[in-house]
Structures are given as C-alpha cells and as structure tokens.
Amino acid sequence: MRYMDKTIEELHELLVKGEVTSDELVKESLEKSYEVQEKCNAFVTILDDAKGGEVTDNLLSGIPYGVKDNYSTKGILSTGSSNTLKDYVPFFNATAIEKLNKAGAIKVNKTALDEFGMGGTGTTGHTGVQKNPWDTTRICAGSSSGSAAAVASGVYPYALGSDTGDSIRKPAAYCGIVGYKPTYGMISRYGLFPFASSLDHCGVLTRNVRDAAIVVDNMKGIDPNDMTSWDSSNINLLKSCTGEVNGKKLFYVKELCNIENYPNADQNLKVHLENFHKTIEICKSLGMEVEEVSVDRNLLNAVYSVYRVIHSAEASSNMSNLTGIIFGPRGEGSNYIEMIKDHRTKGFSPLIKRRFVIGSYVLQKENQERYFKNAQRARRLIVDKWKELYKTYDAEISPVGLGPAPKFSDLNKKYDINTTALDEHLQVGNFGGFPSITISNGFVDNLPVGICITGNCYMDENVLNIAYALENAMEYKGQIAKEVK
C-alpha cells in the first residue's frame, strides 16, 4: 500500500492508530525520491539517513517533507542550486525549519531550484534541469521546480518553496497541485537565502488547500531574527477552511482574462481562458459575486519591467557576499580581486550574471533615478491600484500563465508580446506582499493548468477559505501526476 499519496490528516490518523509507522513513511518517501530523481532530477540531496520520529498531537509529526535547497539546514548541504555554494553546509537552521523540527516533521531531501531562485524554468540550477512529471519534455516552471515535481509525484504531501515573483504558484499550477505564499512576513525569512528581500516570501506546495493551511500554521510567527515578520498568533488557517463563501466578492481583470485581448492566441490559451470563465460560474454557484474590472493597460504592462529592475537591484546587493573568500570554493588569482572575479565567472550561470549586471547598472548613482527609483514609483502605483480594489472585493481570481507548462524546446520561442502581462501578473502579489494561492483548474491538452486567488495583506484566512471552497467544488485536489506522453 502506498501512503505518500495521502493527505497530512489521513497520514496522521494512520500514525495515531498504529496502522503505519513514521519509519515506514520515511522509507517509502526515500524510495520514491530515487524514482523521481531518475525521472525528473528533482533533488540536490536525498537524506538517506533520515529516520522516523515521534508521533504527537501535531498533525505534521512523523510525516516526511521536502526542503527547497535555498533554506539553511544545519549540518545538511544547502547549495541554492549554485556552484558558488556547491559544498556549503550551514551551521544553523532557517527559522521555518526550526519550527517544523519542533512540530516533529521529518525532512527527507533538499529540492532543486533555479540558481538562487532566479529563473522561471527550473533550468538554471547547478545539478541540471527539473522535468515536469506529467510530461518530461516540459518545464515545471521555477524557481520551486524540484518541490513541485516531488509533491506532484507523491514523494510526500508537502515541500517548502519560496516565491519572489511567482516561484511557488506557477510551478504548482504547471504540476497540478497547490502553491501558497502567505502575506509577506507571516513566515520568517531568516535562513532563507535572500534573492530580493522586499519581494521574497516563504511558502509551501501541497496537493490540497487544507494541507497548505496545516503547514503554514506551523511555520508562521514573529521572529526577532526577521524584522519584517509579524505576530499572526490570532490567525488559524486550518480552522478558517470552512467552505462558507456565500456573499464573498471576487474580481478579475478583463484586460488580462478576456480572449478578445489576444488576437494571436493559440488553442491552448483559448481553452485555458475558457476554463477560467467556467470556473467563474462555479464561484457564482457557490454564492460568490464575481465582477469584471478594468485596470490601466500601462500599469499591467509595467509589471514585468518593474519586477526585473527591482529584483535585479536587490539581488546584486544581497549576493555581494558571494566572493569565494568568506565561503564557497575559492577562486584563483594573485590578489583578492582576481580571486573574486574567477570565483564568480566560474560559479554563476549566464542568467545570474545578466541579472547582476542589470542590478549593478540600475543602482549606479547616475542611473538610479531613471531606472531603480522609477521602478519603485511604478510598483507603488500598481500596489495602490490593487489595494483600492481590495476595499470593494474580498479577493482577485485569475488564470495562471498562458496554459499548460511549455516544452523545453519552446523556451527560446518568441512569444506574443500581448501575452506578457498575463504571464507575469502574479508578481503583483509580491509587490504588495499579498497572500496568494494557486489551485488546479483542470487540464488543457491533458496537462494541468491553474487559477490563483489573491487577497489583501493579512487576509490569509479569507483567501484560503475561498480557495478551499472552490477546490471542493471541482475534481482536481489530491491528484498525483500521470505521465501523458
């Protein structure tokens, strides 16, 4: 009998009744890890010495999970999927890991990602590309690609991710599972390798909304090591999942979600948006109001550029300590400048180098006003527009991406510029620190697609409950990837 396909609550009940042991769950998870590694290349490290743990009243106790390899794990290789940290073993745990340790959760592997979380394809990490378990010729998206592939394949019920632009939510959608990033600062970022500090969120990938609530209930909380964390002790995400949504008001942006905006749309995009509008009708059948709103196209078109400028600037600052002198493999050279140059030239992928160049350029004194500060101003305009909408509506509902996961062979294909805003709009959730969750919305061409629910800051209970009600009205929760090739 397989157990890792089950929910956290089902596994806890089996453990409490003695029908399975924690050791047996860990053994199954490790065996499945090697199967998925061969198929999808989802992991940097598999913890062969992982052992079962004590089963307590905590729902997570004794249950295996995966850790994205940009979380610091004491005594365990933590590379950020970068050659610059290929041998780095931290001496401390991230706060999120400490909380899960306290809950009795059992980590069994470290999942691969785009290098330092930079990239949306799962192709830039130092251990190679991560493949989609539904179709290995396709991407998982990124950067939480390994976590998405593992959860979708049934290695365990949940894995940790991080989300700077859509790095939890889009991989979840492309792999047919749930991806949740809570309000900025609900989970401490202490021990998460920093990418862009004003955008980074810790979060989780699961196969149903209740599991996401359980995990984040255990990870959240104020932390003196993270000045952006806040007291969420009055929030109980699991209890909020009641399914009572009658009278809730949702909006969607017509410039993004209506097919007439895409005269060159391919069949996948057409079906994807058709599915989205069918789901709108399901929302209405549950007693929710859903209204179409209009957002200035200039704001929507600015999202991607604003994201690029801000995250590149913050990344180039955050990662200035990656010199090869403090830690990491030491570069060669006759002086420290040559050593740093050699370390970074050999250690970073081309994509990372480009982003550091952009970040350094926009932060130069003569360029700051035109690029970095203008990007910050545009970010504020975008966030203010969404906060204005949240005064009227409980949440936004939107499609994720342009349809199913692209093929690796199509990554360099020139896409219709009209679709950029739709493909990148989840970044608004990071601009404002808004709670945001994707759930599966069926299939296009036999491959999973997703929808996203996003609400105002600190309204996580409301956002998760809407997603929970909608998930229960459809047939896609708990699904395990079945290769369709």
Half-sphere exposure of 60 (CA within 13 A, CB side): 26
Cβ-proximal residues to 357 (8 Å cutoff; 6+ apart), any chain: none
Token readout for 97 is 């890991």
Q: Rounded to the nearest 5 degrees, what angle is found at the Cα of 472, between the Cα atoms of 164 and 271?
A: 65
Give strand ranges (E) for 341-446: 395-399, 436-444
Catalytic residue among 143, 145, 229, 436: 143
Nearest partner of 393 among 265, 258, 290, judged by Cα: 290
Can you say whether residue 439 is alpha, beta or left, with left for phi > 0 and alpha for psi between -120 and 50 degrees?
A: beta
For residues 139 and 125, give the distance between their C-alpha atoms in angstroms, rounded to a whole number: 13
Nearest partner of 122 among 41, 18, 219, judged by Cα: 41
Using DSSP, state whether 66 is helix, strand or coil.
strand
For residues 69 and 284, give the distance between their C-alpha atoms in angstroms, rounded to a whole number: 40
Catalytic residue among 68, 107, 110, 385: 68
Contact 198, 171 (CB under 8 A): no
Helices (H), 220-266: 237-240, 254-257
Respond yes or no: is residue 167 known to be catalytic.
Answer: yes
Contact 271, 403 (CB under 8 A): yes
Cβ atoms within 10 Å, residue 414: 5
Say which amino acid occupies 351.
L
Cβ-proximal residues to 45 (8 Å cutoff; 6+ apart), any chain: 69, 76, 77, 109, 110
Q: What sign does the CA torsion over 358, 180, 226, 115 have?
A: negative
Q: In what order do the strands lie in the sheet with 178-181?
A: 43-46, 106-111, 64-68, 158-163, 201-206, 178-181, 436-444, 447-454, 395-399, 249-253, 289-293
Using DSSP, state whether 183 is helix, strand or coil.
coil
Contact 115, 80 (CB under 8 A): yes
Catalytic residue among 61, 153, 167, 232: 167
Token readout for 39 is 């198929």
Q: Crossing angle, helix 8-17 and helix 209-219, to 10 degrees?
A: 80
Respond yes or no: is residue 68 known to be catalytic.
Answer: yes
State the catalytic residues: 68, 143, 167
